[in-house]
Structure 1
């Protein structure tokens, strides 16, 4: 194991000790034991989203320590409800690299999508290579569906990959009907790198930010091993949609259908989770999510939510426990969003505090099992991203070292929760190691990298927005 891996392994081990054992940092003060009362997890429901939050360590010993906050957000189920009408644009890469099977499957998926729509829905179809061809947004009535199918049949493979032009065209078509729909979305498909038009990641991300600012969400689907997964994941994140990675284009129809279902059962948009940090509490990081801190307020933008959709946010905070028997405010939480069922803005809140105890045994006994597993998954996701990058750059042994660290993380988490609680996680790490062992070609490396990064998104907590 090289020095870099050894150093990261040491850092992971220290983080793991803090996570599993809840140890204070150097300089902790000790006082006689004092009985304390349990602090339950906090829940809040005030609209179409529910929020459940918990601390990895609801009890801490005196001194400075790291702990983790986990927040689960869930879209309300709407039994028997009809899906909302949707205003969509499907934007299909038809560059030369899509030739053959991939383009055939993309066309089949688009035909399947047309068949799922009704007269109350609108659809625009865009395909791009070096240039862009479009069928403008139309209501999906029987005669227009026939036009759509004919247009799809005429899609051919040609040219480079002008993703920016495809996105701009999708935006203009969705904008035509945007005011009459609560659900407006672009579904972008690509199998390659942007080679024409706007080719810089930052420029393309700005395009997606502008689309989102107009009330249109963006979902992105990458096919094969050549596309830029970081860029496509960023499109979904900034576009408040979903990201999907497909090794086989034959699964495109299923993914198009899934994204339509998600869009058509939307219950909340413009979702933002806010951490309000008391004096003395510091943010370490929000794992896997974009966040913006101003003073003691940390804002985390989240995707649009469909019925039953679950997303999880894990944050690492540093707190100071003072006098045994006292409570320490850890964070206030605020959830704000547009409730599509109420057609109104909604806010809900909660607060979390930890109790200070001198009894280390009580601290360990009271450690939250679920929050510990969730935090371990988020920490493992950081390692998976590092592993994917190392593998891409040809450092296979280093990449495998990160996965071995993850196995150690979950083994330690099992001592807090149970082996059964992390059994699936351990199996996943074994699968990743196998992928890396077998990654002996550029294509195999590309597949392993994309699998790892998609797994990392789910482990960070992007459960419903990662296909």
Structure 2
């Protein structure tokens, strides 16, 4: 081979190397300036997303016949500096009209109390109670004295009168648009079943109110639709125009998520529009979803999580039953989990899937060795939280005997768990004792007649 050919070959190799290097450089993502201090975390999110999903099952081994078990799903976001939250000016608008009597008002009260608990002394708070006319506790710095007064006002609310949401919102906007609130991040949290009877009652009109507050005063309107029969579209329309979050609640055990979402509105978050979808396997029955509010239809469950913050851990517990027969050791698919979200760090739409399985293995299905201790610990606490919440709601609806039955049934279930793993459920047992006392001692407001209810015409005698 001549020197010219060798030189030509070397040139081709050099050119190919340069081209490949250029392609590699072109594919390397550019880390944004705001993530320079934690670039490896950002690159991790760029490659694999900002949320990791995993699961544990207890018991891990199944025998023949019907058996109940728990699957604990865990969402864990990457940790990064979220930034210092600004001081917030918050108006809680709570619908206490007669249509919310019972468990719906209980859920609204618990959600409002969780918001107050999640605020700091640098924040300001006003409360507007919606009925025939709005009752306003004016906005003030959240000192210890003011916090106690606000919590007492929420705790002793009774359902009465009609529902004028527009008047309640306008009262909230008036509080937040004061000159004293100009330098603060302004948020409205509306807790309602979304069924106004007076004032502005149409969806478009209420959405325009929220939009005007955002455009004129930079007020963010967030909505929490309460109850199975809440008007989700009306509530979501206000949140969309108010650039806020739209949540739904039908479980008093899941109310603290409202406070978390309010706080995440103030800082950098890992993800938004987070949603889980659960489909159980062919031999599996979904008995319940615990830890987050979920919409369940047969073998399917949709769990809207909303926003997820830096380093946040969220657990969802599936209460399942399965019926299997066979001597052959084999995996049993319990559920297929699909996760979707908007990655707030990389601005990408993400999806993940996870298959949750247990093992059919009658030889290993008995005894403590079949259990996953960590999963049992989390599942037992979630089980008590959910069932004591049901007891609380039942008592709020006036059925104290029914509440006692739920608590007794929960106690018996814990006794069954304790036979093999007493140490793993000590937290759940302590929680049950504390919540049982609270529910028994809680004074219940008496619901007043709903004036918006249509009167039945007397039957004509033949």
Q: TM-score, normalised by structure 2?
A: 0.56
1:56, distance to aligned residue in structure 2 (A) = 1.4
Distance 1:162 1:266 in 2: 37
1:316 partnered with 2:308: no
CA gap of 1:76–1:391, structure 2 versus 1, over 3 A, is same
Residue in structure 1 matched with residue 263 of structure 2 by the alignment: 260
CA gap of 1:185–1:267, structure 2 versus 1, over 3 A, is farther
Distance 1:407 1:203 in 2: 32
Q: Does the 8 Å CA contact 1:272/1:336 hold for their aligned counterparts?
A: yes
Residue in structure 2 matched with residue 172 of structure 1 by the alignment: 211
Distance 2:239 2:167 in 1: 23
Residue in structure 1 matched with residue 55 of structure 2 by the alignment: 53
Per-residue Cα deviation, 1:91-116 (whole angstroms, up to 9, x for no partner) = 544358999x9815x43349x9xxxx
The within-5 A match list for 1:323-402 is 323-360=327-364, 364-402=368-406
Per-residue Cα deviation, 1:299-332 (whole angstroms, up to 9, x for no partner) = 3322221223332222233432533222222223
The within-5 A match list for 1:84-163 is 90=91, 92=93, 93-95=127-129, 103-104=137-138, 106-109=139-142, 129=167, 132-133=170-171, 147=182
Residue in structure 2 matched with residue 73 of structure 1 by the alignment: 75
Distance 2:402 2:221 in 1: 38
SS of equivalent to 1:103: strand
Distance 1:315 1:163 in 2: 41
Q: Does the 8 Å CA contact 1:95/1:129 hold for their aligned counterparts?
A: no
Residue in structure 1 matched with residue 83 of structure 2 by the alignment: 82
Residue in structure 2 matched with residue 24 of structure 1 by the alignment: none
CA gap of 1:381–1:302, structure 2 versus 1, over 3 A, is same
Q: Does the 8 Å CA contact 1:380/1:409 hold for their aligned counterparts?
A: no
1:78, distance to aligned residue in structure 2 (A) = 0.9
Distance 1:407 1:393 in 2: 22
Distance 1:366 1:434 in 2: 33
Q: Does the 8 Å CA contact 2:76/2:313 hold for their aligned counterparts?
A: yes
CA gap of 1:185–1:82, structure 2 versus 1, over 3 A, is same
1:263, distance to aligned residue in structure 2 (A) = 4.2
Q: Does the 8 Å CA contact 2:63/2:365 hold for their aligned counterparts?
A: no
The within-5 A match list for 1:21-40 is none
Q: CA RMSD in A?
A: 5.1
Distance 1:382 1:436 in 2: 13
SS of equivalent to 2:140: helix
Figure out how many residues of one structure are paired with residues of the other and give that number: 335
